[in-house]
A and B are shown apart, each in its own frame.
Chain A
Amino acid sequence: MAELIELDAAETAARIAAGEVSAVEVAQAHLDRIAESDGDIRAFLHVDTSGALAAANAVDERRRSGEPLGPLAGVPLAMKDVVVTRGLPTTSGSKILQGWVPPYDATITRRVREAGIVMLGKTNMDEFAMGSSTENSAYQVTRNPWDLSRVPGGSSGGSSAAVAAFQAPLSIGTDTGGSIRQPAAVTGIVGHKPTYGAVSRYGLIAFSSSLDQAGPFARTVTDTALLHQVLAGHDPLDSTSIPSPGPDVVAAVKEGAGSDLSGVRVGIVRELTGLGGGYQQGVLDSFRDAVAILESLGAEVVEVSCPHFDYALAAYYLIAPSECSSNLARFDSVRYGLRAGDDGSRSLEEVMSLTRERGFGPEVKRRIMIGTYALSSGYYDAYYGQAQKVRTLIADDFRRAFTQADVLVSPTSPFVAFGVGERVADPMAMYVNDLCTLPASLAGTPAISVPCGLSDETGPALPVGLQIMAPAMADDRCFRVAASFEAAYVARNGQILAGRSRSGSAGSGTAGNGTDGANR
């Protein structure tokens, strides 16, 4: 029998439900794994040992008393620290919230708890979710389990690293411009950014309100779907929450895993294939191989053009900073969090300024300043107004493309995991990590990243992600295609890609070449 930490979430829940293993044992195994590995990985900002064991014990009690358990009851989960958790410190990776213990639960926290999922702790992230490497955390640098000298992506890097390092089979991230998909891609796991409004934002510390979406990470497509099903659904506390039930993504996974893709039209987005350069060759090779797999599954592959995607980066870096400049105004030392310099010699205004000066990191300050400028009277139309128009044009591009294809595909990121410190000094080098993920963020459409191969172009073999995009409210299409792809990948390689980071024998091939026999 494989170690408990190597089991996927569905299998873990099944064994707990059958009484083969207790939820407490499962929780303890993961807590042990965290204790043993997190000195290197540094995925967690806060580990809630007693809370996790108590939640696990409650699941065991319910099982013993014969209560029916949900499909993920007893399964451990790592929560991104941007999600508010009652009684558990929540910092959003920022010094300005150090020591804040929320008096309430986010809606998704409540849903996780009600599903009997065992929350192990809070994971590291770029401060206020601003970044693509998790190096902007005010607390620590998280390492990529595939190569400890590299970043785990970001901003949900703690959550991606925790799952890739087998510290938890499930985790939750948030994605504003790619912060679930890119970290999933570079750590070799699955991550889904739901349709905007599918998952409640109530209790997510806002970065950019019109873009933020929480979503699941897991090592398999099935587990990702199971967690998505827990998170998604209408929430009256979030008025941007979609008031109708979303599609059944678990059923979509069953359908996808059990069938090929005949009749499915897959569109390759020309603007996301690195024609203008800038994409790593290893990423493009993996992507080409992934498309070949899709074709071999019977999908009809077409090329589509979305010309306005070229403006996505520019539009995003106006809209997101503008909204963040307003969203982050509440961190002023008056009611919670850091208060700097309140020694009786300073005015309220001075204390507010000093608190924000000391409490926010450089990237957060950069974006607040950009956003404040972009919203200023006299500049609003030229910047924020224009960016919103670009957003409409991108959504129109998607609409047109989805008349030609059922799903669109691209590499998730132009790059594999890069070295710690490699891009921190150059904001643009950091921003281009999200080139492929930004369009779906701006359009509010769903997209999943599923591991599709390895690239050793920059050294050791590192994971590459395939992004599958679908129309709004059709998250099930992402899951169906991802499940078919994953099944084909496993059939060729003997296991899911995430399995290989564990053995340290990741090999050096790409999907489909069949030569990296790192089978377990």
Chain B
Amino acid sequence: MTQSTDTSAYDDVLTRYQPVFGLETHVELGTASKMFCGCSTTFGAEPNTQTCPVCLGLPGALPVVNAAAIEYTIKIGLALNCSIAQWCRFARKNYFYPDMPKNYQISQYDEPLCTDGYLDVEVHGETVRVGIERVHLEEDTGKNTHVGGATGRIHGADYSLVDFNRAGIPLVEIVTKPVAGTGALAPEVARAYVAELRDILRTLGVSDVRMEQGSLRCDVNTSLTPNGSSEWGTRTETKNVNSLRSVERAMRSEMIRQAGLLDAGGRIKQETRHFQETTGSTRSGRSKEEATDYRYFPEPDLVPVAPDAGWVEQLRAGLPELPAARRDRLRSELGLTADELQSLVNAGAVDAFADTVAAGAPAAEARNWWLGYLAQSANAREVEVAALPITPAQVAKVIELIAAGTLSSALGRQVVDAVLETGGDVEQVIADRGLAVVSDTSALTEAADAAIAANPDVAEKVRGGKLPAVGVLVGSVMKATRGQADAATVKAILLERLGVSETG
């Protein structure tokens, strides 16, 4: 990626235009069964094994609303400071597509379950309030696989396969109001919003929010307003934005693309664009101008949903501590600075950090591990830090063993690597791989004598008073013990065997 070119092009855009953006986020709810039938929602099953007459849209089959999905959606609405509808209906969104069994999607149209809320996000110490337009509930579609052909798209494919396991999984759509006035920070605000939303959903326990499995998907609407203009520009909708990093990249690249067009005297076409992970750019999809008329009408197979006000208040009272409140508490309890906390938030490691501290590790050590070595490991594996296969308790254990001298820092990293690779109990990993610090003095003395014997001239220099030369011998011993010795101990033994005193 040409970050520097991008950066200057991006800065250049902002000298002439101000971005306005909006986000539509789809989240698969973590209910045990589907939205309108009893089929399992487990990810990764054999194609079309989690289906029934209802989610296959067989003639005669009827939907029945999953009460847990309603509850989850209301919880999301409450966490996003929304009003909860006292009465609302599902609607049919009619369009033909082979991944949609009924050729209509049961969704909500003009009567969403939750409306008019907000979510505050922090970017560089600044709080930005993102308005929430609506939160509504719908069913997911199946998944098409187009086989053959060059593009993986339906055109040119030899044949297509449809897996309906995903069809009917409850999907919540969270739509923001347009966000204006964030200037150059817009892509970061968008990213921070999605990150905060993801953390809220996780805290509420309503979704596993695995972006890589598609359980949280974003559409990013972007437009540019020329400086001095009060009228917003035409927006494009970028679909297929499936990671936090992509949210930011997609908006940046779309801003640069739109500015280029506008600068050249062109106009922006209102259209759907697709984000491409590989290039970081967007390409044109179908045009909104020729988009289908969805012919929404109230779903006659379902009775209206009328959440009891008392029940809603009960749900509100039962909400867990939300991430923002939790961060405030952690900040004061653990004595973190705003910046320190922000780095943890950005790394998606707040929970991991707090849990590591809760498991007994000192805050500074815990932070260093999660923002340092573990963040690098996550980066190398291209996963979120929180998705690393290591628990905060395991990290705390490693920290404890380093403090106790059982592990050196280097050994600690080896233990972490081993856990990440094969899993298992930390102490077991140490035992199995023989990773503990060698504290057996006789073994070390033997190794020291061998090093002295192998390097007589170095030994002579040390004996002659050139103390720093002992480092060569220490290195030799460390190598012989495969890094498992404590360097300070080795040095002391070597000096003792050479009959030299460090203090002279």
B96 within 8 A of A: yes
Q: Which residues of A contact B53 (CB under 8 A)?
A: 103-104
A72 within 8 A of B: no
Contact among B162, B293, B295 for A326, CB-based, below 8 A: B295
Q: Which residues of A contact B300 (CB under 8 A)?
A: 208-210, 240, 323
CB atoms of B62 and A348 under 8 A apart: no
Contact with A along B56-78 (1 / 0, CB 8 A): 11111111110000000000000
Q: Known contacts A322-B297, A376-B295; is A90 also within 8 Å of B103 by CB? A: no
CB atoms of A326 and B297 under 8 A apart: yes
CB atoms of A377 and B295 under 8 A apart: yes
Contact among B60, B64, B297 for A84, CB-based, below 8 A: B60
Residues A335-389 near B (CB distance < 8 A) = 335-336, 348-349, 352, 372, 375-377, 380, 384
CB atoms of B60 and A203 under 8 A apart: yes
CB atoms of A384 and B297 under 8 A apart: yes
| A210–B56 alpha-carbon span in the complex (Å) | 21
Q: Which residues of A contact B297 (CB under 8 A)?
A: 322-323, 326, 375, 380, 384
CB atoms of A106 and B295 under 8 A apart: no
CB atoms of B59 and A84 under 8 A apart: yes
Residues B68-124 near A (CB distance < 8 A) = 92, 94, 96, 98, 101-104
CB-based nearest A residue for B95: A329
| A449–B298 alpha-carbon span in the complex (Å) | 31
Contact with B along A314-337 (1 / 0, CB 8 A): 000000001101100111101110
| A322–B91 alpha-carbon span in the complex (Å) | 13
B154 within 8 A of A: yes
Contact among A106, A239, A349, A375 for B65, CB-based, below 8 A: A239
CB-based nearest A residue for B59: A205
B376 within 8 A of A: no
Q: Known contacts A326-B104, A334-B162, A336-B58; is A239 also within 8 Å of B303 by CB? A: yes
Q: Which residues of B contact A348 (CB under 8 A)?
A: 98, 154, 160
A201 within 8 A of B: yes
Q: Known contacts A334-B98, A348-B160, A377-B295; is A326 also within 8 Å of B92 by CB? A: yes
| A209–B59 alpha-carbon span in the complex (Å) | 12
B302 within 8 A of A: yes
| Residue of A323, A330, A377, A384 with most partner-chain B CB within 10 A | A330
B301 within 8 A of A: yes
Contact among B62, B98, B102, B103 for A201, CB-based, below 8 A: B62
Instruction: Tally A-B pairs: CB < 8 A.
Output: 99
CB atoms of B98 and A240 under 8 A apart: no
Q: Which residues of A contact B94 (CB under 8 A)?
A: 325-326, 329, 375
| A103–B58 alpha-carbon span in the complex (Å) | 9
| Residue of B59, B60, B160 with most partner-chain A CB within 10 A | B59
Number of interface residues of B (CB under 8 A): 30
Q: Known contacts A332-B103, A348-B98; is A239 also within 8 Å of B60 by CB? A: no
| Residue of A203, A238, A348, A380 with most partner-chain B CB within 10 A | A348
Q: Known contacts A236-B64, A237-B64; is A335 also within 8 Å of B56 by CB? A: yes
Q: Which residues of A contact B98 (CB under 8 A)?
A: 332, 334, 348
In the complex, the 4 A-B pairs of residues with the closest C-beta atoms, listed nearest first:
A329-B103, A209-B300, A375-B295, A210-B300
| A500–B326 alpha-carbon span in the complex (Å) | 82
Contact with B along A174-214 (1 / 0, CB 8 A): 00000000000000000000000000011111101110000
CB atoms of A100 and B293 under 8 A apart: no
| A203–B162 alpha-carbon span in the complex (Å) | 24
| A335–B167 alpha-carbon span in the complex (Å) | 14
CB atoms of B59 and A330 under 8 A apart: yes
CB atoms of B302 and A239 under 8 A apart: yes
Q: Which residues of B contact A325 (CB under 8 A)?
A: 94, 295
CB atoms of A237 and B62 under 8 A apart: yes
| A206–B103 alpha-carbon span in the complex (Å) | 14
CB atoms of A239 and B62 under 8 A apart: yes
Expressed in whole angstroms, the minimum distance between the Cβ of A322 and any Cβ of chain B is 7
A498 within 8 A of B: no
| A331–B98 alpha-carbon span in the complex (Å) | 11
Expressed in whole angstroms, the minimum distance between the Cβ of A73 and any Cβ of chain B is 26
Q: Which residues of B contact A478 (CB under 8 A)?
A: none
Residues A71-89 near B (CB distance < 8 A) = 83-84
CB atoms of A239 and B103 under 8 A apart: no
| A479–B467 alpha-carbon span in the complex (Å) | 112
Expressed in whole angstroms, the minimum distance between the Cβ of A199 and any Cβ of chain B is 13
Q: Which residues of A contact B303 (CB under 8 A)?
A: 239-240
| Residue of B60, B63, B104 with most partner-chain A CB within 10 A | B60
CB atoms of B302 and A329 under 8 A apart: no
Expressed in whole angstroms, the minimum distance between the Cβ of B295 and any Cβ of chain A is 4
CB-based nearest A residue for B155: A347
Q: Known contacts A329-B102, A377-B295; is A352 also within 8 Å of B96 by CB? A: yes
| A348–B160 alpha-carbon span in the complex (Å) | 10
Expressed in whole angstroms, the minimum distance between the Cβ of B247 and any Cβ of chain A is 31
CB-based nearest A residue for B94: A326
Expressed in whole angstroms, the minimum distance between the Cβ of B54 and any Cβ of chain A is 8
Q: Known contacts A209-B301, A239-B303; is A202 also within 8 Å of B61 by CB? A: yes
CB atoms of A239 and B301 under 8 A apart: yes
| A397–B104 alpha-carbon span in the complex (Å) | 34
A22 within 8 A of B: no
CB atoms of B162 and A102 under 8 A apart: no
CB-based nearest B residue for A85: B60
A493 within 8 A of B: no
A92 within 8 A of B: yes
Q: Known contacts A97-B59, A375-B295, A380-B297; is A329 also within 8 Å of B96 by CB? A: yes
CB atoms of A239 and B63 under 8 A apart: yes
CB-based nearest B residue for A356: B96
| Residue of B63, B92, B295, B303 with most partner-chain A CB within 10 A | B295
CB atoms of B60 and A106 under 8 A apart: yes
CB-based nearest B residue for A83: B60
CB atoms of A202 and B59 under 8 A apart: no
CB atoms of A330 and B103 under 8 A apart: yes
Q: Which residues of B contact A236 (CB under 8 A)?
A: 64
CB atoms of A372 and B57 under 8 A apart: no
| A376–B95 alpha-carbon span in the complex (Å) | 12
CB-based nearest B residue for A332: B103
| A380–B295 alpha-carbon span in the complex (Å) | 8
Residues B32-55 near A (CB distance < 8 A) = 53
**With A83-B60, A239-B63, A330-B57 given, can you name 19 additional A-B contacts, CB distance below 8 Å?**
A102-B60, A104-B53, A104-B58, A104-B61, A106-B60, A203-B60, A205-B59, A237-B64, A238-B64, A239-B301, A240-B303, A329-B94, A329-B104, A330-B102, A332-B96, A348-B160, A372-B295, A380-B296, A384-B297
Q: Which residues of A contact B63 (CB under 8 A)?
A: 239
Q: Known contacts A239-B301, A332-B96, A348-B160; is A102 also within 8 Å of B293 by CB? A: no
CB-based nearest A residue for B144: A348
CB-based nearest A residue for B37: A237
CB atoms of A202 and B60 under 8 A apart: yes
Q: Which residues of A contact B296 (CB under 8 A)?
A: 375, 380
Q: Known contacts A104-B58, A332-B96; is A376 also within 8 Å of B64 by CB? A: no
Residues A215-261 near B (CB distance < 8 A) = 236-240
CB atoms of B59 and A92 under 8 A apart: yes
Contact with B along A464-504 (1 / 0, CB 8 A): 00000000000000000000000000000000000000000
Expressed in whole angstroms, the minimum distance between the Cβ of B70 and any Cβ of chain A is 12
Expressed in whole angstroms, the minimum distance between the Cβ of B138 and any Cβ of chain A is 15
Q: Which residues of A contact B301 (CB under 8 A)?
A: 206, 209, 239-240
